[in-house]
Structure 1
Amino acid sequence: AAEQWRLDSDERHTEVRAARAALPAHGVREELCAMLRAHRAVLVCGETGCGKSTQIPHFLLEEACRAGRGGECSVVVTQPRRIAAISLAERVAAERGGSQAGGTVGYAVRLERKCGPRTKLLFCSTGVLLRRLQSEPTLASVSHVVVDEVHERSLDSDFLLIILRDALKANPALRVVLMSATLDAATFSGYFGGCPVLTVPGRTFPITDHVVEDALEATGWAVRGKPLLRGDAAEAELAGAGEGYSESTRSSLLRLPPDGVCPAGLIAALLSHLDASRPEGHAVLLFLPGVAEIRTLARELALAPAASRWLLLPLHAELPAAEQKRVFAPPPPGVRKVVLATNVAETSLTVADVAIVLDSGRVKLAGYDAAGEYSSLTEGWVSLASRKQRRGRAGRTREGEYWALYSRAVSARMAEHTPPEMQRTPLAGLVLSILSLGLGPPGPFLARALQPPSADAVEESCRSLRLAGALDAADALTPLGAHLARMPLDVRVGKMVLYGALLGCIDPMLTIAAALSTRRSPFLTPFEQRQAADAARKPFTGEHSDHLAYLRAYEGWRGARRAGGGGAGRRFCDEHFLSHVALEELHALREQLSGVLADLGFASSTREAMEGEGEGIASVHHASLVRAIVCAGLYPNVLRARMPDTRFVDTVGGAVEAEDERGIVKFYLAERRAGGRVFL
């Protein structure tokens, strides 16, 4: 309360208060507070740019402080992406006069947190709150939970909604606020018993729309080669384009990849055209489906004649926070900022100087191959809801332009919404969480979801957990399953760590588990130095195992850093084409996993890992043990090779052994079942 009184009365804070008051969200402040006094849950539909992600949580904190309930207030805001949680916390902390997050306003995401006992407003990733529920099932110490961007329908957020609906019954003091810019209001309101809906008007500036036909026309760029669309497909594409385009544009339209990213040459030509004709301060945000596409396009754009005037900045979930923050800083004079981003830039982030959005229209979504029993990222077209979010990035702070790098005909075929992740990804980790939280049998519990997964998908996940030894025949948690449920790892990777702890091999297993769980590889392969990179990593690849290669690279880097400090570690990375950032992230995750093991009671194993007393893989015996643990953890997804029978052919000199043909060696899963053959 004293801090809030100081903020309200401090004349130096006048400018910040004025900026906040100018946001559309400020106009619904009193209505929001009144709704939460009368109802347990409220739905906030806010257009892009209305300020809901920063202001709604801030209002809740201010209201409690001014009413003398600041000591009881604890607002937790979940975000689907770590970069959004960090940037929003820092923004709200700045609004409250702090130089950075960590005091009254804080954040907690994987591998990074700035919060403490004084924190009253916590921005966190959804997974952080789910882990908190293991020790606090009813959220007794929380006054408000704000779930932002619920329209994304991630596995964690849909799971959280089921739990929150139950928590509202068990904890009468709890209030829940759901927020999104593209919300199916009736669906979510009905799920929470017909809760009231609060609509916040947007502050989006006018946006001019263009499609790839306009890009071809404006640049005069022509696609070479044979048409990729013929017959009815070609007629539909040209009919969708409409009249008014040159023959060159119409011809090029049929030569563009029908299901892929727009050619780099056209993107470079469009950037050059926009750079020459748009004001200098107008930054460009370019959406691409994944990290590989960002890196490939960045290399191509760096070769363009106008590249010296562009500041190319990547933005994706694999970047460390320090590098992600670069996109918010202004570029040097005479240089145009061009941000190459995945869908992390769709929501909750505002790059203030962006006025031009180029959208590939492509996205990579998590999926599941049931036959092979593995997760995958499948590329496809975005939904219309995601398209709206991407378009809205262009008009957040000024008039903008949106260039869809796909045709009108493609746009007409886009789905309204992306299918919820719960219906397209493995559920094994979710099943473990349900059982560890004591929420009842997984099937009936998940049947209460907003859009439940199929019963077959739930049963398949239970079956895989039984095979892994995490569930018994009655689908109850085994001791192994209880430990795995508390580990922030894939089930099979978690098994590897636990087996390593039991067999006195924890140091290498922590490294391998961290390497498999981080999103970036420690190995760098610069396009122009591939042979040199391959030669430099040979010391790590002698055992023909990716797992042991990760381990050898990390141990080499760790040894160099211990002997000569951080500078020696960086030199080691430079010499062996390793990513220092990736290895630092791997090291941080090892420390986190070591702490989890300590909490589980593996204290001696944890000390060994942290003090580096393990013998590494210096001996053949230890390397064999590492292989055995990896195999045991990944089982039953283990291959066995069936070699072909020896064949002979007659020659002038007599019978000789025939060479095997490609594809003649067949691979099968160790556990025999239908569809068990694996193709490599």
Structure 2
Amino acid sequence: MSRRFFPNGMSNSSAQHNREEQQMQSSASGSGGPYSRTRRLSPEFKVFRLLPHLEQRIKTILNNSKSFCSSIFDERSNFEYDDKYHHIHDPRFKKKFLEILNGDIEHNLTKAISMKSKLQRNSNVDRILLNEYKDKQDQNDYLNMLKFRLKLPAYHKKSEILQLIKDNQVVVISGETGCGKTTQVAQFILDDQLEAGNGSITRIVCTQPRRISAISIAERVAAERAERLGKSVGYQIRLEKIPTREQGSILFCTTGILLQIMKTDPALKDFSHVILDEIHERTTESDFIITLLKKIIPKRTDLKILLMSATLNSERFSKYYNECPMIHIPGFTYPVQEFYLEDVLSLTQFKFSEEEPTDYSKYLKDTRYKKQQHKKREFLKIMQPYIEQLRTEMKYGEHVFNQLRNPNSENFSLELIEKLVRYICNTKGPGAILIFLPGMMDISQLNRMMLDSEYYPSDKYIIYPLHSRMPTINQKLIFKKPPDDIRKIIIATSIAETSITIEDVVYVIDCGKTKLGGFDVKNNIQTLEPEWVSLATAKQRRGRAGRVKSGECYHLYYKVREMAFDQYPLPEMLRTRLEEVILKIKILQLGKAKEFLASVMDPPDLKAIDLSLDLLRTLNALDKEEHLTPLGYHLAHLPLDPRTGKMILWAALFSCVKPIFAIAASLTFKDAFYCPLEKEEKEKAHQKKLELSMGENSDHIAFAEALRRFEVARLRGNAGAFCKEYFLSFNTLKLLSEMKTQFAQYLYEMKFLNNNNPDDKNANRNSHNIALIKAIVCAGLYPNIAVISDITKNETIVGWTPEDGDVRMHPSSVNWKASNFASQYLTYFTKQRSSAIYLHDTTCISVPILLFTGPNISIRREKGKCVISNHNFSAYITCKPQTAEMIQELQRALNSLLTYKMTHPATVLWSTFEGQMLNTIIGLISQKD
């Protein structure tokens, strides 16, 4: 087996000897480890040797590095700053860096408020804007739109809303779906201010949690005002904007853009009103802004804040803002009849399996069995009183009561859903059916189940699977009503709750489960597991059925179970890692992370904060005192995860921009590969992804190569055919390509690139070097390292990490069933627990890469060998003492150079010593193990 995985591995006898030795050590110590089980691959005492010519180059570099390091880190300082940073000679960078380091939000707000605003009273501008508004009221386009607007429930509350805003600094507005609050409230304010002659001092910013929402709402509002975008209405999202005029206008933007604005305008002096929409979603960014605004409003008493929520959780936000007033706008939906699982079982006569393990002795010590028994006891504790209650109502037959006693009846069942769909199709009137499922695999399986059956012929039914990772189909067809004799069936995840509205849906099937990304603080791992929906989510799903006529919603959980649901989904800040949040805290000079985060509406777990602080210190973004390092300063200015931020900085320094920008964009946004529904097509898609990975056992290489080939195909005019052949999303690749340009712009402004062109030759002199690409990826992702350790019966790969033990390659990874690795080490970006712990994207890395991309290596003696390591896995990497010392010195020299480049931003001069050093390191990491 070891030969299969590692072609240059040990002989079988040697492998067997080491395997037995490791097993004896594990038994004696009682500890687990990457090789502690009998089916583990054998550990290898990897002997690391330098090629003679490379060894000579390193010696030369190290001889010259001492004078180089002393010249860039001398003791002289011409500036009266902290001694800790006396080595920074770049006055411009040093000033900006220390201002961030030593500043605080209170001082910044005071300073910002004293500065001149763009919103200055100008009577001429007021008159011009008022006349323009009056002239508009005679235009047919405007009047036709006004007829529609007058019918919206929000319009009936117009005067009440405006009075509340006039009398209060903060107002909470809640409204049901379809009430018009998102499109109307900002217009109410603008029109009211224009009529009052305040156009010159009015500029409204309205945030949306999603890019598509910001654009579509801006387009709708501009149309209602009979204008083109860019006049009184505009939008700004990542990579795209149509700005408005600076006075008398409404800017729709994402919450992330508003945070970017607050970096340079902390008091929001250029805005008169801030509207935060969809705050019920409780995204990390919206919660962050809500907390920041609470600090701003005492200083900006003229700033008006409106918090808008789609659900009735206004009290939480009102309480947070010192009991500020609330107003509710009723929705406009038709009545929806609700059914629960007991009703569905009665209607369909569906029967759940009652299987249980028969050989109890075999399972007594099994943890899963114990959990099942506990779950069964809890189930019966809830259901027994409920059964007695229902019996008195005499509403259901004995079949339902039998199922109510069966714990398996709360298990997710696609068979039940399909039978319910069939029941609706056979007994109910026309109307589309919308089915909510937890994840993509469930959608794929139900779609296949329905297509394989004989009950849904294409001349009577049209089925649409809807998921962001599935093939892009003609989206307009989903929203278009089919002919009267054809019933539309949409199978979707939670994307259909609020992000899209399908008007002709009459029947909703709510499975009651959702897959919500979470963060297990105890085990320090991201999770994606099915869980019960919240009451607010169930309400949103039900509301999808009453858009055009009376509807029906079938909840596939018992009514008694609903009583145990949480009121609202868990805020994102409580279920995600916090590295980006902490960097925002630092760049906005908000003080210590724990102190600021204690002031948010729902403070995160202190351990979660500690874990993120630890990772930022590992990345060298924060020092021991929790201050930004120069690297951290640059990472905080990038709208990226700090790991991908570190990647693009290294890419600029090593002149390896194009592939790394592509990888960073894919990890930051999403990779462009989609998952087909058909089994045969899935295999084809996997083979095409393998082709793009070019035999490098790397998903990240596949990301970069996919984007490179797409850009070539686009120039040739055949990008569409390329995407179809390789199962790639055209729109995603187009966005990733634009993100590369944005990254180049950032690094150009930061002086790490000479221009903002990611294709520039000087920025890509090493972009062909696969080993360097892998090294830069590993540098960003460290300490995310796993060891390939096992193979399952169905040929899938098992890895090992010290935190989790066994981990598996996700089926979407090129390494899922790989059979030949050049090394036993992998680096990864996403590790997530669902049905098992999966590594979603992986890259096989060599020993030299491993040694150079982590923190400082250590050297120790063990059994007469010199062992070098920088993490838990390299206990078997041995070399000559002279080699270990040379590598250690070279790494110190590299760290010194990187520190210098972070404090003196500039491109590398490859003809000088720094270029020679980097070339030597590139030669070392390119050496085969």
Classify the TM-score, shorter chain. 0.7 to 0.9
Take 2:189 and 2:476, find their aligned partners in 1: how far apart are those partners? 27
Take 1:663 and 1:530, find their aligned partners in 2: how far apart are those partners? 19
The residue type equivalent to 2:773 in the other structure is: V
- Write the mapping of 1:22-421 to structure 2, written as runs, cut at 5 A: 22-98=151-227, 101=229, 103-117=231-245, 120-223=249-352, 226=355, 233=379, 236-237=382-383, 240=386, 242-243=390-391, 244-251=395-402, 261-263=412-414, 265-280=415-430, 282-304=431-453, 305-306=455-456, 308=458, 309-315=460-466, 327-347=478-498, 350-370=501-521, 373-421=524-572
Partner deviation per Cα, 1:530-567 (whole Å, 9 max, x = no partner): 333343333223011111122223223333333x22xx
Q: Match for residue 433 of structure 1?
A: 584
From the superposition, tell whether residues 224 and 3 of structure 1 become closer, same or farther in structure 2 (CA, over 3 Å).
farther
Q: Match for residue 681 of structure 2?
A: 529
Q: Match for residue 638 of structure 1?
A: 785
Q: CA deviation at 1:493?
A: 1.2
- Write the mapping of 1:581-596 to structure 2, written as runs, cut at 5 A: 581-596=731-746
Q: Match for residue 629 of structure 2?
A: 478
Structure 2 contact 745–755 (Cα < 8 Å) conserved: no
Partner deviation per Cα, 1:321-380 (whole Å, 9 max, x = no partner): 996665444334533333333333334754333332221222222322446644333331
The residue type equivalent to 1:527 in the other structure is: K
Q: CA deviation at 1:529?
A: 2.5
Q: Report the secondary structure of 1:334's partner residue.
A: coil
The residue type equivalent to 1:668 in the other structure is: P
Select 2:646's aligned residue among 455, 470, 495. Answer: 495
Select 2:750's aligned residue among 600, 607, 611. Answer: 600
From the superposition, tell whether residues 411 and 608 of structure 1 become closer, same or farther in structure 2 (CA, over 3 Å).
closer
Q: Match for residue 668 of structure 1?
A: 802
Q: Match for residue 649 of structure 1?
A: none
Take 1:327 and 1:662, find their aligned partners in 2: how far apart are those partners? 37
Structure 1 contact 642–667 (Cα < 8 Å) conserved: no
Structure 1 contact 597–603 (Cα < 8 Å) conserved: yes
Structure 1 contact 555–616 (Cα < 8 Å) conserved: no
Take 2:651 and 2:345, find their aligned partners in 1: how far apart are those partners? 57
Structure 1 contact 211–404 (Cα < 8 Å) conserved: yes
Take 1:336 and 1:470, find their aligned partners in 2: how far apart are those partners? 55
Structure 2 contact 214–252 (Cα < 8 Å) conserved: yes
TM-score, length of structure 1 as denominator length: 0.86
Take 2:229 and 2:441, find their aligned partners in 1: how far apart are those partners? 32
Q: CA deviation at 1:161?
A: 0.5
Take 1:315 and 1:128, find their aligned partners in 2: how far apart are those partners? 28
Partner deviation per Cα, 1:24-82 (whole Å, 9 max, x = no partner): 21122111111111111111122343222222222122222222333432222222233
From the superposition, tell whether residues 232 and 343 of structure 1 become closer, same or farther in structure 2 (CA, over 3 Å).
closer
Structure 1 contact 74–144 (Cα < 8 Å) conserved: yes
Q: CA deviation at 1:15?
A: 4.2
The residue type equivalent to 1:529 in the other structure is: E
From the superposition, tell whether residues 16 and 128 of structure 1 become closer, same or farther in structure 2 (CA, over 3 Å).
same
Take 2:523 and 2:478, find their aligned partners in 1: how far apart are those partners? 39
Q: Match for residue 571 of structure 1?
A: 721
Take 2:690 and 2:315, find their aligned partners in 1: how far apart are those partners? 58
Partner deviation per Cα, 1:372-407 (whole Å, 9 max, x = no partner): 644333331111122122222323443221211222
More displaced stretch, 177-186 vs 237-246: 237-246
Q: Give 5+ residue unaligned stretches, structure 1.
A: 644-660
Structure 2 contact 176–329 (Cα < 8 Å) conserved: yes
Backbone CA RMSD of aligned residues: 3.5
Structure 1 contact 318–519 (Cα < 8 Å) conserved: no
More displaced stretch, 377-386 vs 523-532: 523-532
More displaced stretch, 240-249 vs 609-618: 609-618
Q: Give 5+ residue unaligned stretches, structure 2.
A: 1-129, 357-371, 804-853, 859-870, 875-929
Take 1:250 and 1:520, find their aligned partners in 2: how far apart are those partners? 47
Structure 1 contact 259–380 (Cα < 8 Å) conserved: no
From the superposition, tell whether residues 555 and 339 of structure 1 become closer, same or farther in structure 2 (CA, over 3 Å).
same
Determine if the alignment matches structure 1 residue 508 to structure 2 residue 659.
yes
Partner deviation per Cα, 1:84-110 (whole Å, 9 max, x = no partner): 333333332332234x75543333334
Partner deviation per Cα, 1:293-321 (whole Å, 9 max, x = no partner): 33443343344522523443455566899
Take 1:210 and 1:136, find their aligned partners in 2: how far apart are those partners? 51
Q: Match for residue 921 of structure 2?
A: none
Take 2:872 and 2:570, find their aligned partners in 1: how far apart are those partners? 28
The residue type equivalent to 1:266 in the other structure is: L
From the superposition, tell whether residues 238 and 300 of structure 1 become closer, same or farther in structure 2 (CA, over 3 Å).
farther
Structure 1 contact 83–324 (Cα < 8 Å) conserved: no
Structure 1 contact 666–677 (Cα < 8 Å) conserved: no
- Write the mapping of 1:530-545 to structure 2, written as runs, cut at 5 A: 530-541=682-693, 542-545=695-698
Partner deviation per Cα, 1:159-214 (whole Å, 9 max, x = no partner): 11011112212323311111213243333212212211122233332221111232
The residue type equivalent to 1:463 in the other structure is: D
Q: Match for residue 650 of structure 1?
A: none
Q: Report the secondary structure of 1:123's partner residue.
A: strand
- Of all paired residues, the percent bearing the same amino acid is 36
Q: Report the secondary structure of 1:195's partner residue.
A: coil
More displaced stretch, 303-312 vs 506-515: 303-312
Q: Match for residue 646 of structure 1?
A: none
Structure 1 contact 423–453 (Cα < 8 Å) conserved: yes
From the superposition, tell whether residues 232 and 167 of structure 1 become closer, same or farther in structure 2 (CA, over 3 Å).
closer
Q: CA deviation at 1:481?
A: 1.0
The residue type equivalent to 1:297 in the other structure is: L
Determine if the alignment matches structure 1 residue 626 to structure 2 residue 764.
no
Q: Report the secondary structure of 2:435's partner residue.
A: strand
From the superposition, tell whether residues 571 and 274 of structure 1 become closer, same or farther in structure 2 (CA, over 3 Å).
same
Q: CA deviation at 1:250?
A: 4.7
Q: CA deviation at 1:498?
A: 0.7
Determine if the alignment matches structure 1 residue 447 to structure 2 residue 593.
no
**Equivalent residues, number:** 650
Q: CA deviation at 1:232?
A: 6.4
From the superposition, tell whether residues 219 and 110 of structure 1 become closer, same or farther in structure 2 (CA, over 3 Å).
farther
Take 1:662 and 1:310, find their aligned partners in 2: how far apart are those partners? 38
Q: CA deviation at 1:589?
A: 2.4
The residue type equivalent to 2:196 in the other structure is: A
From the superposition, tell whether residues 104 and 235 of structure 1 become closer, same or farther in structure 2 (CA, over 3 Å).
same
From the superposition, tell whether residues 191 and 608 of structure 1 become closer, same or farther in structure 2 (CA, over 3 Å).
closer
More displaced stretch, 234-243 vs 141-150: 234-243
Structure 1 contact 213–407 (Cα < 8 Å) conserved: yes
TM-score, length of structure 2 as denominator length: 0.64
Partner deviation per Cα, 1:602-661 (whole Å, 9 max, x = no partner): 33264243679736764xxx1111111111111222245799xxxxxxxxxxxxxxxxx9
Q: Match for residue 648 of structure 1?
A: none
Structure 1 contact 226–255 (Cα < 8 Å) conserved: no
Take 1:351 and 1:102, find their aligned partners in 2: how far apart are those partners? 29
Q: CA deviation at 1:578?
A: 3.4
Structure 2 contact 654–766 (Cα < 8 Å) conserved: no
User: Larger C-alpha radius of gyration, 1 or 2?
Assistant: 2
From the superposition, tell whether residues 15 and 555 of structure 1 become closer, same or farther in structure 2 (CA, over 3 Å).
closer
The residue type equivalent to 2:751 in the other structure is: G
